[in-house]
Chains A and B, each alone.
Chain A
Amino acid sequence: MNPIVKSVGLRKSYGAFEALKGIDLEIERGEVLCIVGPSGSGKSTFLRCINQLEAVDGGALWVNGELVGYRRTGHKLFELSEREIARQRLATGMVFQRFNLFPHKTALDNVIEGPVQVLKLERKKAELEAHELLARVGLSDKCGAYPIALSGGQQQRVAIARALAMKPALMLFDEPTSALDPELVGEVLSVMRDLARTGMTMIVVTHELGFAREVANRVLFMDQGLVVESGSPEQVLGRPTQARTRDFISAVLS
């Protein structure tokens, strides 16, 4: 089957600064890819290009079989309308570092917002599914709680349930545990580990090398807008060939 993400020479600039300098990458369905790398290396930018929170400046990107952001007609690429971009985004679910739950909605309402408002699912049915999802992330008893009443770990688990409720083909995680107190990291990683076991395709930007080693099929090391090294977790994290990778890993582990 064709890859779920295919990136060819992907470039992205913020003004004169080039955050992505040509990313070539294919991700297969069912794969769990962990992206590691120093701060500012372009990891978030790459995820944000995949679900079009940023528009790409060069190269091409396919997600779930569709060219991202453009429609090809003959030898021309026509920019998609905002509605079409919103539709393309449905292929991906995004989990943010700062959770970004809707604070004016309860946990349950956060989860059903997308299914009801975007997928036009019947409310009763959406609630049923949301209850199941919240149970899956261990939060059956928090359905009626507003985000402010939840711990960071609980908020992030609700955020995962909210993304899953849209039934995405691909889940993107941007440092999902970086904003958490150390004792809350485990509960979120455990939900992600379970999710990986169900065969969900996942791209996870993380500094949790233990998680990467255990769960990832592949680890990618990025630096200064480029992929420096990629391969199995044992290879990239255990026997890195590049000096930059070695330096980064020893810095994280120390």
Chain B
Amino acid sequence: MSGRDDLAEDISQFEHVRRKHVGRYVSGAVIAALAAWVVMAFAHGGIEWAFVGRYLTVHSIVAGLGNTVLMTALAMLLGVSIGVTVAIMRLSANPVINWAAAAYVWFFRGTPVLLQLLLWFNLALVFPTLGIPGLVELPTVEVMTPFLAALLGLGINQGAYTSEVVRAGLLSVDKGQYEAAKAIGMPRLQALRRIILPQAMRVIVPPIGNELIGMVKLTSLASVIQFPEIVYSAENIYYANNRVIELLIVAGIWYVVVVTVLSALQARIERYFARGAGVSDAITRTGN
């Protein structure tokens, strides 16, 4: 409009007026209205909120929560251990090892985890006894408790997904790093552990954090094989008192709490593994 005036006039002392973010106000209003509507609907619906508060901390719910958290941690630990091992196997020069790792990923990614849980839990139908021939032999029904079946089902399935994440991470590290590690005399596995894996973590941690959060909720599937995690506990209570929605809300609240804590933790872990990479700052600080 006044381009020529600007050039003629000294405008360096003028006040700067920021853009009005109209979009932010409009979207804010729309979302606030929607939220209010949802809150109203729940407040007026047939939910006994007093019940929710009372059952939030009853013993069997808290014990179920403990089992959910424990199973999440153990299954994830198993999944990550398997995942790292299988990822390294897939990058091995040995074709047999390579093939075995690929077959594992193929099978466990190819079938639903619910089906795998049921298979582990019903292993007795295939193998009535488990053990080392001639040394120990135990009836499978006693060994394959809901706990063990849930751990194996969730952990081994997770390992198949995690191995792909880890493999992508290992491949993301510059080949020069591997050569530099070799040049100072490191054998392959030491180079992987000391040099490649720590750098791959920057790429690996965000999706693993995501999968950890997924695992918190995936453990609820173990309720179908009678593992007493939080959904199973909630179900047991509402079978007796018919407060179905209230108890599902109780379980839901606890899931949200756990996931919120984990999300906060994830941010700190990501920052740790990004050290020396100089990328996270550049990406997260472009907040305008």
Contacts and interface: CB of A to CB of B under 8 A. Distances in A.
18 contacts: A53-B183, A86-B185, A86-B187, A89-B185, A96-B180, A96-B183, A98-B176, A100-B177, A102-B181, A102-B195, A103-B276, A104-B198, A104-B276, A105-B276, A117-B186, A118-B185, A146-B278, A148-B277
B183 A89 contact: yes
A83 B179 contact: no
Contacts of B190: 117-118
Contact of A82 (B174, B179, B187): B187
A162 B184 contact: yes
Contacts of B278: 146, 148
Given A86-B182, A96-B179, A146 B187 contact: no
Contacts of A147: 276
Contact of A102 (B180, B182, B188): B180
Interface string A75-94: 00000001100110110111
A22 interface: no
A21 to B, nearest CB: 24
Given A102-B195, A103-B199, A113-B194, A51 B187 contact: no
Interface of B: 174, 176-177, 179-188, 190, 194-195, 198-199, 275-278
A90 B184 CA distance: 7
Using C-beta atoms within 8 Å of the partner chain, give the interface range for chain A.
20 to 34
A104 B199 contact: yes
A61 interface: no
Contacts of A51: 183
A49 interface: no
A78 B186 CA distance: 22
Nearest to B189: A82
A163 B186 contact: no
Contact of B176 (A89, A96, A117): A96
Given A117-B194, A146-B276, A148-B276, A101 B184 contact: no
Contacts of B174: 100
Given A83-B187, A96-B176, 14 more contacts: A82-B187, A82-B188, A94-B179, A94-B183, A96-B180, A98-B176, A100-B174, A100-B179, A113-B184, A117-B194, A118-B184, A148-B276, A163-B184, A166-B185
A38 interface: no
In the complex, which of the residues A51, A96, A100, A105 has the most CB atoms of chain B within 10 Å of its own CB atom?
A100
A240 interface: no
Given A53-B179, A53-B182, A96-B180, A104 B187 contact: no
B277 A87 contact: no
Nearest to A159: B180
B226 to A, nearest CB: 45
Nearest to A84: B187
B183 A146 contact: no
Nearest to B177: A100
B275 A104 contact: yes
Counting from the closest, the 4 A-B pairs by CB-CB distance are A114-B184, A100-B180, A94-B183, A100-B176
A53 B185 CA distance: 11
B275 A146 contact: yes
Interface string A160-185: 00110010000000000000000000
A103 B187 contact: no
Contacts of A163: 183-184
Interface in A127-172: 146-148, 159, 162-163, 166
A51 B182 CA distance: 9
B186 A86 contact: yes
Contacts of B277: 103-104, 148
B185 A114 contact: yes
Interface in A196-210: none
A105 B180 CA distance: 13
B148 to A, nearest CB: 37
Contacts of B182: 53, 86, 89
